[in-house]
Amino acid sequence: MGSIKNCIINKDTKYKPIWLMRQAGRYLPEFREIRKNNTDFIKLCLNKELSTEITIQPLKRFNFDAAIIFSDILMLPYGLGQNVTFEKNLGPRLGNVELDKIIQISDESFTKTLENVYALVNNVSKHQILKNKDLIGFAGAPWTILLYMLNKTSPKKGLSKSFYEDKKLINTLLKIIVKFLKLHIKNQVCAGATIIQLFDSWAGLVNEKNIEEYIYNPTAEVVDYVKDLKVPIICFPRNIKDYKKYVLMTKPDAISIDYSINPNKIIDQIEIPIQGGLNPKALLCNLDELKKETLKYLNIFKEHPYIFNLGHGVVPETSPGAVEYLVKLVRDFK
């Protein structure tokens, strides 16, 4: 059993495992080298050899406790036949939702479209570097996937007033998303993922009157399903207003917090294992400031089951040297 899984299942407080969101990515020169020659992001995610290499890259450099697969939450809309592209400096662009076509997609055709994602999971699970480490598979939460599919881009300026108007479309699509999220996660677990993380990147955009319908209920359904697969699930509802209520309503095995959360308050509210919290920009600071911020989280969660991570993904400007220093700080903490 890997140390992260041990922390979640056995509530171990003695050892603080560490991995980072977006640890396989743009801050690593070896990743940038691959990316330079592979400009189509979706094709790169579906290249099982290169995505395997990218997933393993950070473990060759740093003593992390887990690999997280190199993929994207938008592989799910792609698997449902929606056009997905990534434009430099603009982010994801999605095509129109063609519900009549999506309704006809079978489990077999969805799995076939994403078979190289599952091949990547299988490749990494067998790699020598993963001995005694966890392999984290992931997916987007139902709400965040729904939002991307209907908004067709990142909702950085918030949601349009008309977003909730077509309730029939929203409810139909949400059911389809939950169904295929389960399949997507099951395929990853069958291929060798030992933990699943559910990213609800835009949880903070849901208003209070819609939160039960669009966040709590569909997420709880996915969480229950993953528990039946006998793997732990970590949920990351970024910028959600009430983490305590979220945990109560969805019942994940562990909760990942964003960097807007006061760790001193959250530890009194939540009994399950907690992950993350450090502002990714701390890795851009001088080492004394990075040490101060890192030790703050480690000391606050010293007696609580805690997985060291960031409150969002590693930013591209991060120096690999800063990450190496961070890992050593966590490893040396007593």
pLDDT tens, position by position, 162-217: 888 899 999 999 999 999 999 999 999 999 999 999 999 999 999 889 999 999 99
Output the pLDDT for position 160: 78
The per-residue pLDDT for 163 is: 87
Q: What is the pLDDT of residue 220?
A: 98
Whether pTM exceeds 0.95: yes
Q: Which domains does the chain have, with CATH numbers?
A: 3-332 (3.20.20.210)
Q: What is the pLDDT of residues 296-334, one digit of tens each?
A: 999 999 999 999 999 999 999 999 999 999 999 999 998
Which residues are within 8 A (CB) of 164 and not within 5 positions of it... i.e. 6 or more apart?
A: 170, 210
pLDDT attached to residue 89: 76
The confidence score (pLDDT) of residue 60 equals: 98
In tens digits, the chain (334 residues) has pLDDT values of 889 999 999 999 999 999 999 999 999 999 999 999 999 999 999 999 999 999 999 999 999 999 999 999 999 999 999 999 998 878 899 999 999 999 999 999 999 999 999 999 999 999 999 999 999 999 999 999 999 999 999 988 778 778 888 999 999 999 999 999 999 999 999 999 999 999 999 999 998 899 999 999 999 999 999 999 999 999 999 999 999 999 999 999 999 999 999 999 999 999 999 999 999 999 999 999 999 999 999 999 999 999 999 999 999 999 999 999 999 999 999 8
Residue 119: the pLDDT is 98
pLDDT at 29: 98
